[in-house]
Amino acid sequence: MTNRLKALLWDVDGTLAETERDGHRVAFNRAFESLGLPWSWDEARYGELLAVAGGRERLMHDMTTRSDAPVLAGEREALARELHELKNGFYAEIIEGGQIALRGGVLAVMQQCRERGVRMAIATTTSRSNVDALLRRHLGRQWTEAFAAIVCGEDVQRKKPDPEVYQRALRALGVGPLEAVAIEDSPGGVAAARGADVPVMVTTSAYFDHSTIEGAIAIGPGLDRREGWRPAPRPAARPAEPIGLEDIEAWAAQMDSVSQHG
Ligand code: XBP
Ligand code: MG
């Protein structure tokens, strides 16, 4: 049994928005093109590469599989850094163009958090500039005011699945792990939250729909629908009611262990 919910910790990519396939992937390909590299990641290859957390780390990993990548480690690192910076610029352009929406139900849960004094944090592997682009576009220029802690890729020594991002977020919020719930979409994100003892619920995303996920308190298709969740949420007070804080609190109190096998 957890204490009353004091904080909700949001993952970004895949959880707040489906940013990977039509956002980061497309931006990486534009970065390759802008440097005249004959590289391109199709949807399937990018899905494989998502096993590596962090865009720059993903690039470094992909280069180990290419015969046309620089041979010297220092040159590889410099190229990955340059490409990653270019990618983040193209990503911001895509977001500013309005091509990536927030996932359904996200804004409603954020609004409930504000109304009920449940503090929110961002706990992500993504670069701060990418979070800024996404949330500025969807929450407005003052978006940071909605979050009591914002922990991004640059703020940690070790990215997810390491629990560091969640440990830092808890410390910044001043709450214990059982006073919080994390919302994630990927096996790595779930592992990171669990490693910090934070109960974690999963809204499955395009790339991780069929992945193996273990030890969540709930798994479902999205916050905007009650069908398809395990455990089932409490009976809805009105038809078509989305998932809300009461459901999240109930799952946290139940502390079930739900898995999905890929
Ligand atoms: C997200 C990621 C990130 C993004 C790109 O993981 O792995 O690498 O793909 O971000 P999570 P950067 O949703 O678990 O936080 O290019 O800024 O690293
Ligand atoms: Mg994610």
Mutation probe of ligand 1 site: the residue of 9, 13, 49, 166 with most atoms within 8 A of C-beta: 13
Q: Which residue owns the Cα nearest ligand 1 atom 7? A: 53
Q: What is the largest CA-CA distance in the chain?
A: 62
Contact residues of ligand 1, CB 6 A cut-off: 11-14, 20, 24, 53-55, 124-127, 130, 153, 160, 186, 188-189
Architecture of domain 7-18+101-260: 3-Layer(aba) Sandwich (3.40)
- CA distances 246 to 66, 170, 176, 249, Å, are 49, 21, 20, 5
Active site residues: 11, 13
Question: What is the rounded average pLDDT for all residues in the chain?
Answer: 96
User: Residue 2 above 80 pLDDT?
Assistant: no
Mutate to test the pocket of ligand 1, among 52, 95, 125, 154 (most ligand atoms within 8 A of CB): 125
| pLDDT per position as a tens digit, 229-253 | 999 998 887 878 999 999 999 999 9
The ligand placed nearest to the CA atom of residue 54 is: 1
Residue 1 has pLDDT above 50, yes or no: no
Q: Please tell me the residue having the least CA distance from ligand 1 atom 16.
A: 55
Ligand 1, closest atom to CA 91? Answer: 16
At 168-200, the pLDDT tens digits run 999 999 999 999 999 999 999 999 999 999 999
pLDDT digits (tens, 9 = 90+) for 85-111: 999 999 999 999 999 999 999 999 999
- Min mean pLDDT across 1-10, 35-44, 114-123 is at 1-10
CA dihedral (123, 201, 87, 67) in degrees, to 10, reads: 110
Phi then psi for 215, rounded to 5 degrees?
A: 80, 30
Q: Which two structure tokens, joined as six digits, stand for 88?
A: 């983040």
The protein residue whose alpha carbon is closest to atom 8 in ligand 1 is 54
What percent of the chain is modeled with pLDDT above 70? 99
Two structure tokens written together for 153: 């890729």
What pLDDT, on the 0 to 100 scale, is given for residue 237? 79
> Looking at residue 3, what is its pLDDT?
59
Question: What distance in Å separates the CA atoms of residue 247 and residue 158, rounded to the nearest whole number?
Answer: 32
Q: What is the mean pLDDT of residues 111-129?
A: 97
Domain ranges of the chain: 7-18+101-260, 20-96
Question: Tell me, which fold does domain 20-96 have in CATH?
Answer: DNA polymerase; domain 1 (1.10.150)
For 201-258, give the DSSP string.
EEE--GGGTTS-EEEESEEES-TT-STT-BSPPPPPSSTT----HHHHHHHHHH---E
pTM attached to this predicted model: 0.96
Same fold, 7-18+101-260 and 20-96: no
Tell me how far the alpha carbon of residue 69 lies from the centroid of ligand 2, in angstroms.
Answer: 28
pLDDT digits over 27-57, tens only?
A: 999 999 999 999 999 999 999 999 999 999 9
Cα separation, 233 vs 154, in Å, equals 36
Helical H segments across 35-127, by residue range = 43-49, 55-63, 73-96, 106-116
